[in-house]
Amino acid sequence: MTLLPEGLLIFLWLQLTWVSGQQLNQSPQSASAQEGEDVSMNCTSSSIFNSLLWFKQDPGEGLVLLIALYKAGELARNGKLTAQVRGNKNGQLLDHFGL
């Protein structure tokens, strides 16, 4: 099972070639879980991306890179963490992150 400190914040950082007109939606905005609980987050982007980077940030601490994705269709794992770019639908990038 995954052990996560109470109050763990996981979020997405999206690097773009250009930012103009970019729309990024993440659901939920943040998540926390106790040992044995699953966490799932989704992200949609309205434009083409260079990379998707998932970070965690514990309260009062700096960012820690969890997973980096660099192309559509890519699946990345880091221990029990999994992230995948599922594809492009109507110009929107669909990404999924789960523990």
What is the secondary structure of 17-31 as a DSSP string? S--TT--EEEESS--
Is the pLDDT at 97 greater than 70? The verdict is no
- Name the helix (H) or strand (E) containing 55: strand 51-57
Q: Are 35 and 3 in contact (CB under 8 A)?
A: yes
- Encode pLDDT of 45-90 as tens digits: 766 666 777 787 888 888 888 888 877 777 888 877 777 776 655 4
CATH class of 9-30+37-98: mainly beta
Q: Which two tokens stand for residue 15?
A: 């690097």
Q: Which two tokens stand for residue 58?
A: 């514990």
